Amino acid sequence: MRIPFVAANWKMFKTVQEAFLYAKEFAPVVKDITDVEIVLAPPFTALHTVAEALRNTNVGVAGQNMHFEREGAFTGETSAGMLVEAGAGYVIIGHSERRTLFGETDATVAKKIAAALSADLVPIACIGETLAERERGDTLAVLDRQIHDGLAPAVDPADVSKLVVAYEPVWAIGTGRTATAEQAQEAHAHIRRRLRDQYGEEAAATCRVIYGGSVKPANTRELVTQPDVDGALVGGASLDLNAFAEIVARSRRDTV
């Protein structure tokens, strides 16, 4: 059975001190939840501090982005090795905000995923359609393209189980709108079918596919009880410690 995966993407919020205090208070709240893989993704400035605060706990740490080169003249960028040195075990790649605001493409996503895997970072690879694409009925075609161009070139069958795929409908990111449970399941099931086509039944069955898009405590349970939804990538709601802890608790397989 796939272990649920829940990650908090803090985006450009929280100072180092605020991040440290959150991490120190959060870890004891979720210390007994061992059947959910829990990850915090703070801003890069707070990454090392949060990683140290969470040392020897059941909560992991992720970078929010990375460059695909090991080093070089890339002002403002951060390599996979730098993330690992700072204490990260995971990295978010291809978030819709990176794609829409900073021009990331499926090609750069593929390079980043390959670099992350080479550095033993777990990639949290984001895919999803815009509102215009959904309204045109192109959702599944967009997912097919993003998997074919962004995931397939970077991931070997042996690495699929290390990958986390985050389906994030762009029209639901930070808007308060959420895909219905049925819409989420349709997209997740399609993603898993494409993984099965690409890598085989066993690989597709082990890969976690999580949902991102205005996840809150109130809608968590309805989403994560869908057969192909394995957790959540949480944005705004994760900034509140109690709300995020509740989302984690409601993502457990045996929660009623």
Compute the distance between CA of residue 116 and CA of residue 131 in angstroms, rounded to an integer. 29
Residue 256 pLDDT exceeds 70:
no
Compute the distance between CA of residue 239 and CA of residue 108 in angstroms, rounded to an integer. 28
Q: What is the mean pLDDT of residues 9-20?
A: 98
Q: Tell me which residue of 52, 65, 119, 44 sits closest to 89, measured CA to CA.
A: 119
Residue 84 pLDDT exceeds 60:
yes
Burial of 248 (0-12, 13-18, 19+ CB in 10 A): buried
pLDDT tens per residue, range 203-215 = 999 999 999 988 9
Least reliable range by pLDDT among 80-84, 119-123, 155-159 = 155-159
Compute the distance between CA of residue 86 and CA of residue 94 in angstroms, rounded to an integer. 21
Q: Could you tell me how far CA 221 lies from the centroid of its own chain?
A: 18
Q: Tokens 């890598």 — which residue?
A: 199
Catalytic residue among 37, 168, 188, 190: 168
Q: What is the mean pLDDT of residues 226-245?
A: 97
Q: What's the CATH superfamily of 5-250?
A: Aldolase class I (3.20.20.70)
Q: What is the mean pLDDT of residues 48-52?
A: 98
Residue 64 pLDDT exceeds 50:
yes
pLDDT classification of 47: cutoffs 50, 70, 90: very high
Q: What is the mean pLDDT of residues 153-167?
A: 94
Least reliable range by pLDDT among 55-64, 79-88, 169-178, 233-242 = 169-178
Residue 148: active-site member: no
Residue 168: active-site member: yes
Indicate the SS3 state at residue 226.
Answer: coil
Compute the distance between CA of residue 121 and CA of residue 198 in angstroms, rounded to an integer. 22
- Cross-strand bridge partners of residue 117: none
Residue 23 pLDDT exceeds 60:
yes
pLDDT classification of 177: cutoffs 50, 70, 90: confident
Question: For the chain, what is the mean pLDDT?
Answer: 95
Catalytic residue among 37, 67, 95, 129: 95
Q: Domain-by-domain residue ranges, the chain?
A: 5-250
> What is the predicted pLDDT for the residue at 255?
52
